[in-house]
Structure 1
């Protein structure tokens, strides 16, 4: 696999983040959160920069990235779609909603559409059980979603 070439401006921004946290290794999670905001995900090359700047082992950075579900090493789409599969959502038809997203986007859970527009994931609980089934697209929350609603929801992002 070829090495990813990181944009110099983004690398400088990441190094500034490390400096802002005084290169403190105990701030690794905060640095990684900001790194993911800058790059959209945390490929090995970003992890190496963080490890270099904070003077920690790359394996330690990788361990943190893979331990916390918030972090991703796979690029997300511009519109990340998450379908809640918690108990309340599941019993109210979330699986059918997820199946419809998979069908219309032609991706599996964990994948991104070839145009980079959407990525699809499922999660355990959004904390909006009264609105079950719940879908989030970016920061926007959709409640009481039925499979028939998916096409119209996606149309909002065309």
Structure 2
């Protein structure tokens, strides 16, 4: 009973609620150059949670790993309850770096490929996270808030390229 309550609480705390349809977009001019540290408003004082493997949070986001290097990243599943951007980031010494591309997912959407602004490199690690769309359907690291864990830290999936 307690475990069920905790699972339900974590599900609702990590996923927002709304509806829509799918859209694929890469970051607007200047968006891809923003670093992780510059997007936070100062409210997240802890470090981001990077989960090993291919699952984020409560299995709401599944990314195959390893993936072929190139100009796209495959998302097997993104379970969202409101329009949410799934964002690919480069890794700079194990820390989330620049956004390389994003795709807007809607409730009921399935697998999707995220087109990138520049190619991924073989034998490297990358991060994928989620940002809830603020309603304008334009990706912004500043205005679209990152999905966070119970401690208030952004949650990411790591994947590797081959």
**What TM-score, normalized by structure 2, do the two folds share?**
0.23
Structure showing greater radius of gyration is: 1
Which structure is higher in strand share? 2
Higher normalized contact order (CA 8 Å, seq sep 6+, divided by chain length)? 2
Which structure has greater helix proportion? 1
Q: What is the TM-score when the length of structure 1 is the normalising length?
A: 0.23
